[in-house]
């Protein structure tokens, strides 16, 4: 079968390390992500630690959550951090004008977020306010968080109950300044970001990586404007440059912004259109990476995809400003194919954050507002199945033969996606079959190291629309995979239709 589709993997030639931070998460003050998701309050009958929901923490620790971005999102550029410190019953209220036009009581603020990160074992990614804030406000927040002596902000932190400073490795300079964060031009934001970055100081030996708010989808000119500045080392604020990372955002939908498509009642054609749009992430990452390479050929500056995922019409009967949507097998395959791209571009991508962690957009976890039940989504299971890729060396996958394709919207969609990595005497191979109806068989031509054992898992379901609910929490959940057979070159694998498969290889 010389014409059989083959994927060649050199197990002894790892490339760039896949940062665990590409498996990052995002929690905004939006709908029931914070309130009712992470935060239930200390008086809640739902088990909690200092008001933080225990089962949510346990579920996220189980997938080794590496970082959490907060407080937004669009909310970040309306958020004034001093409103979220001190006694909760004395904190001023505000209007969350972006998300539901509801009143925010600021009961979840800096101390609560940092407590959450410590419970999760996750590194905090704090997003500052450029749109309606000030340079001084952002500078003092960094001092409040990270300085350890008797400075004014350190003393204020101690007065609010926290003696030791926190570690905050990532700090964002605004969010979507081309839109909800101020409707700025690239040049105007770049000048502002350079100014703000100067005052985000490293206190007491603590180093903060500054993340410049980057492009929407294919706005490569925005990335270029930032790179012209950020690639210049030796600025007064930090010898590493003005920014250490530049971000980008991209959402997947089957419709348009006016009608994004339904989360669970979609056609097979919409399934394929979604997959095609999900796979566009590779084009976008490659485009931004090419711009960055022109100014930073040594890849000192990271690309952060800090908002990505599916965005559907909200579930019927829910507040349209809360962005609550169900999560099906289709969402899981959108996630798995995104990760393949992140693995392939490990040299450049330093972080990614799915939107969002609980009860909003492509969530890991859904919590029922009436019963309090917790549901793990199909997307959660992709994250769990991929923990072996965290901080592993990426492995190149080279195809021999033609990939299976479908014609979608006038052009070809390759329906098979594969990536691989290695660490600690094992290799992990991820295979996504986006074909709704047809299984795909391929040979894994495994070279360079002997494989002594293979363990497989598969995530699929009887229908494309399958999703988990409190009544059926395991409608889409991983099971043992038996479709990998020995082959003269390594393994022959039959990947079921509409499925995600991982193979863990034990190496000699």
Q: How far apart are CA 98 and CA 423, in angstroms?
A: 43
Q: Which long-range contacts (CB under 8 A, 24 or more apart) does 459-463 make?
A: 459/329, 459/332, 459/378, 459/381, 459/382, 459/385, 459/499, 459/500, 459/501, 460/329, 460/496, 460/497, 460/498, 460/499, 460/500, 461/329, 461/498, 463/329
Relative to beta strand 374-376, strand 392-395 is: unpaired
CA dihedral angle for residue 279, residue 283, residue 289, residue 291, rounded to 10 degrees: -160
| Helix or strand run (H / E) with residue 117 | helix 110-120
Q: How far apart are CA 378 and CA 131, in angstroms?
A: 35
Residue 315 burial by Cβ neighbours in a 10 Å radius (0-12, 13-18, 19+):
middle
Q: Which residues contact 387 (CB under 8 A, 6 or more apart)?
A: 23, 63, 64
Of 104, 112, 307, 492, which residue is the catalytic one?
Answer: 307
Q: Which two tokens stand for residue 132?
A: 């309606």
Angle made by CA atoms 87, 92, 95, in degrees to the nearest 5: 140
Identify whether 73 is preceded by a cis peptide bond (ω within 30 of 0). yes
Of 28, 104, 176, 384, which residue is the catalytic one?
Answer: 176
Q: CA–CA distance from 153 to each of 78, 82, 110, 314 (Å)?
A: 21, 11, 13, 41
Contact yes or no for 16/346 (Cβ under 8 A): yes
Contact yes or no for 408/272 (Cβ under 8 A): yes
Q: Is position 283 annotated as part of the catalytic site?
A: no
Catalytic (active-site) positions:
176, 307
């Amino acid at each position: 079968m010389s014409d059989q589709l083959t994927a060649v993997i050199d197990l002894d030639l790892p490339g760039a390390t896949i940062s665990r931070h590409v498996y990052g998460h995002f929690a905004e003050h939006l709908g029931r992500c914070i309130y009712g998701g992470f935060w239930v309050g200390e008086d809640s009958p739902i088990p909690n630690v200092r008001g933080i929901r225990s089962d949510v923490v346990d579920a996220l620790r189980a997938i080794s959550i590496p970082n959490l971005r907060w407080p937004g999102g669009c909310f970040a550029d309306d958020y004034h951090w001093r409103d979220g410190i001190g006694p909760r019953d004395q904190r001023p209220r505000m209007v969350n004008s972006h998300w539901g036009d509801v009143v925010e009581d600021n009961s979840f603020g800096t101390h609560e977020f940092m407590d959450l990160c410590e419970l999760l074992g996750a590194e905090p990614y704090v997003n500052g306010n450029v749109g309606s804030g000030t340079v001084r406000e952002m500078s003092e927040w960094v001092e409040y968080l990270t300085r350890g002596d008797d400075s004014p902000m350190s003393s204020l932190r101690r007065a609010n109950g926290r003696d030791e400073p926190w570690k905050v490795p990532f700090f964002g300079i605004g969010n979507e300044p081309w839109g909800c964060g101020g409707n700025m031009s690239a040049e105007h934001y770049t000048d502002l970001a350079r100014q703000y970055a100067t005052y985000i100081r490293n206190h007491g030996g603590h180093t903060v990586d500054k993340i410049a708010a980057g492009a929407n989808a294919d706005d490569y000119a925005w990335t270029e404007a930032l790179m012209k500045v950020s690639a210049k080392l030796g600025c007064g604020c930090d010898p590493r440059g003005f920014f250490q990372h530049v971000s980008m955002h991209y959402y997947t939908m089957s419709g348009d912004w006016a009608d994004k498509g339904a989360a669970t009642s979609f056609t097979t054609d919409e399934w394929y259109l979604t997959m095609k749009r999900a796979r566009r992430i590779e084009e976008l990452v490659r485009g931004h990476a090419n711009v960055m390479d022109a100014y930073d050929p040594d890849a000192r500056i990271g690309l952060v995809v800090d908002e990505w995922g599916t965005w559907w019409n909200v579930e019927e009967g829910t507040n349209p400003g809360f962005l609550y949507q169900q999560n099906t097998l289709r969402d899981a395959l959108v996630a798995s194919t995104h990760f393949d791209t992140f693995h392939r571009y490990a040299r450049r991508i330093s972080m990614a954050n799915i939107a969002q962690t609980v009860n909003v957009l492509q969530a890991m976890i859904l919590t029922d507002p009436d019963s309090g039940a917790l549901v793990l989504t199909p997307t959660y299971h992709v994250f769990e199945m991929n923990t072996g890729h965290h901080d592993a060396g990426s492995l190149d996958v080279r195809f021999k033969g033609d990939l299976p394709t479908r014609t979608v919207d006038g052009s070809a969609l390759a329906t098979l996606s594969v990536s691989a990595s290695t660490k600690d005497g094992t290799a992990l191979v991820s295979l996504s079959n986006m074909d709704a109806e047809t299984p795909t068989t391929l040979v894994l031509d495994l070279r360079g190291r002997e494989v002594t054992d293979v363990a497989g898992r598969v995530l699929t379901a009887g229908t494309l629309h399958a999703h988990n609910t409190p009544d059926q929490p395991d409608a889409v959940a991983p099971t043992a995979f038996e479709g990998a057979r020995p082959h003269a070159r390594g393994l022959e694998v039959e990947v079921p239709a509409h499925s995600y498969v991982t193979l863990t290889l034990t190496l000699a």
